[in-house]
Amino acid sequence: MTSNSANNRTDRLQYLTDRIEIQDVIARYGLGQDLHEDGDNDVLREWDAVFAPEGRADYSITGVPDLADIGYRELVDFMRRPGGSMSGLKRWQHFQAWSTVEISGDTATARTPHIHTHQGETDGQGWNLIQTGMFVDRLERRPEGWRIVHRTLEILWMDTFPVAA
Amino acid sequence: MTSNSANNRTDRLQYLTDRIEIQDVIARYGLGQDLHEDGDNDVLREWDAVFAPEGRADYSITGVPDLADIGYRELVDFMRRPGGSMSGLKRWQHFQAWSTVEISGDTATARTPHIHTHQGETDGQGWNLIQTGMFVDRLERRPEGWRIVHRTLEILWMDTFPVAA
Amino acid sequence: MTSNSANNRTDRLQYLTDRIEIQDVIARYGLGQDLHEDGDNDVLREWDAVFAPEGRADYSITGVPDLADIGYRELVDFMRRPGGSMSGLKRWQHFQAWSTVEISGDTATARTPHIHTHQGETDGQGWNLIQTGMFVDRLERRPEGWRIVHRTLEILWMDTFPVAA
């Protein structure tokens, strides 16, 4: 074994480890939403290990200008406070795909498709609002692991589907 | 190269190998359902390599008390026998997400979101029953590979969607 | 460290690298469709790094005999040319799952479930055509990376869902 091939192996092992760790961060975002429903709003239990402490997001594609630059803790409040944007929903799921990732040293960018579903009811008629889109993330390697420093939401389509009683 | 760093690399390589192998087991569960439709019920072709021989499941969240503690072969029978719980469906898909996994030696726990869809028809009106949820698994490393020893089904939401003729 | 164990580690590292690279190719196929909507049809920006130059597909399960054996560039043309098969759609997403892969040297086969969704509108009534299925791929390791040499589309179910105005 040459020293070069050993170094090469170490680099590849690091790359693979990074990919799996970043994929786990992406999955944890969805768990933060989906492990907390029915009045439990403790999303930060997961998201404090998803975002860097100063992590921010741009969700302005939803049509809400205030979401163009918002800290992740404020984002949780926006969605989960009494009367917040998710308060009218019954149940939901935030399903994440495999991420396409570019890593450069201690920084990375990731693009991740998602299918987000939201069950609701209006005047006794059930419906399900489905959003497909992608998250585009900048991540940094921190002592505690990979963390999102900035997340942008892109939407592909949103439709509200009627459901049977 | 110190012996420590070599050991460390071996440990990390083992961890990554375990993660991929466990993900493959999770995927194989879905294939067990989805490679066998239209009267073919040979789910065990895949599931015998998904579950340990003594593997059991708790699917009682579906509202069926008998499913609180059932062997995986009995579960196949429950769903796939003539008149079984899936006998009224036309087609289906069991789509699995990336798993969040904790490994400790030869045991592991995994949490995997899913989207399960089921196409049916009643009195000429087509419908699609969509279930979103998660599987929570205990796995063990066996000589033949990682196997699920216990699987619990959690449901996030279920809705029946009408479809066009 | 024995030479054997070093070789074994190198083989395992290669296998894991291959799995991640193949998964990235699978994801790139979906990005090729979904990064190009609203009149942008530059699918080849991604697909030229998905398929081998001579890569072909069999999508005849859609009911179009001409798609039984078609080059991937012709497939883009079939879908994306003016009046092509996707020209009547408003928006779409091509969501790919974890692939089950068998690698043998420089060739591989992969089976990947998918959920493809297509938003449209007819006479003012919105709808969403959802297709679930699997891709079955033969891949080869090329100097530029893993590439699909043949892709077969399998469909599990397709339904058109009405959506609210």
- Tens digits of pLDDT across chain C (165 residues): 456 777 788 899 999 999 999 999 999 999 999 999 999 999 999 999 999 999 999 999 999 999 999 999 999 999 999 999 999 999 999 999 999 999 999 999 999 999 999 999 999 999 999 999 999 999 999 999 999 999 999 999 999 999 998
Q: Give the integer Cα–Cα distance in Å for A91 and A104.
A: 38
The tokens for A69 are 């630059």
CATH number for the domain harbouring residue C57: 3.10.450.50
Q: What are phi and psi of A6, to 5 degrees?
A: -65, -45
Bridge partners for A139 per DSSP:
A108, A148
Determine whether the interchain pair C98/A98 forms a contact, defined as Cβ–Cβ distance below 8 Å. yes
Q: Looking at chain A, which residue has its C-alpha nearest residue C36?
A: A156
Nearest to A96 among B13, B98, B156 (CB): B98
Tell me if B113 sits within 8 A of A34, measured CB to CB: yes
Determine whether the interchain pair A91/B156 forms a contact, defined as Cβ–Cβ distance below 8 Å. yes
Determine whether the interchain pair C31/A100 forms a contact, defined as Cβ–Cβ distance below 8 Å. yes
Name the neighbours of B, counting chains with at least 3 Cβ pairs within 8 A. A, C
Nearest to A119 among B97, B100, B159 (CB): B159
Tell me if A51 sits within 8 A of A72, measured CB to CB: yes
Residue C147 CB burial class (10 angstroms; 0-12, 13-18, ≥19): buried
Determine whether the interchain pair B27/C127 forms a contact, defined as Cβ–Cβ distance below 8 Å. no
Which chain B residues contact residue C159 at CB under 8 A? 119, 126, 128, 163-164
Number of domains in chain C: 1
Write down the H helix ranges in B35-163.
44-47, 72-80
B41: left (phi over 0), alpha (psi -120 to 50) or beta: alpha
Per residue in A106-145, pLDDT tens?
Answer: 999 999 999 999 999 999 999 999 999 999 999 999 999 9
Q: Give the integer Cα–Cα distance in Å for B14 and A74.
A: 39
Q: What is the pLDDT of residue B1?
A: 47
Determine whether the interchain pair C132/B10 forms a contact, defined as Cβ–Cβ distance below 8 Å. no
- Flag whether residue B98 sits within 8 Å of chain C, measured between CB atoms: yes
- Flag whether residue B16 sits within 8 Å of chain A, measured between CB atoms: yes
- Which residues 6+ apart lie within 8 Å of A79 measured at CB? A43, A85, A86
Chain B nearest-CA distance from A98, in A, is 7
User: Which residue type sits at A43?
Assistant: V
Q: Give the integer Cα–Cα distance in Å for B25 and B18.
A: 11
Q: Give the integer Cα–Cα distance in Å for B93 and C49.
A: 29
- Flag whether residue C97 sits within 8 Å of chain B, measured between CB atoms: yes
Determine whether the interchain pair B161/A20 forms a contact, defined as Cβ–Cβ distance below 8 Å. no
Tell me if A17 sits within 8 A of B12, measured CB to CB: yes
Chain centroid offset of residue C41 CA: 16
Q: Looking at chain B, which residue has its C-alpha nearest residue C15?
A: B17
> Domain of B37?
3-162
Single out the residue of C146, C160, C76, C151 nearest to residue C117, CA to CA: C160
User: Which residue type sits at B104?
Assistant: S
pTM of the model: 0.97
- Number of helices and strands in chain B (H, E): 3, 7
Q: Give the integer Cα–Cα distance in Å for C86 and C26.
A: 21
Beta strand pairing call for A145-162 and B51-58: unpaired
Per residue in A13-68, pLDDT tens?
Answer: 999 999 999 999 999 999 999 999 999 999 999 999 999 999 999 999 999 999 99
- Flag whether residue B2 sits within 8 Å of chain C, measured between CB atoms: no
Determine whether the interchain pair B117/C134 forms a contact, defined as Cβ–Cβ distance below 8 Å. no
- Tokens 């040293």 belong to A105
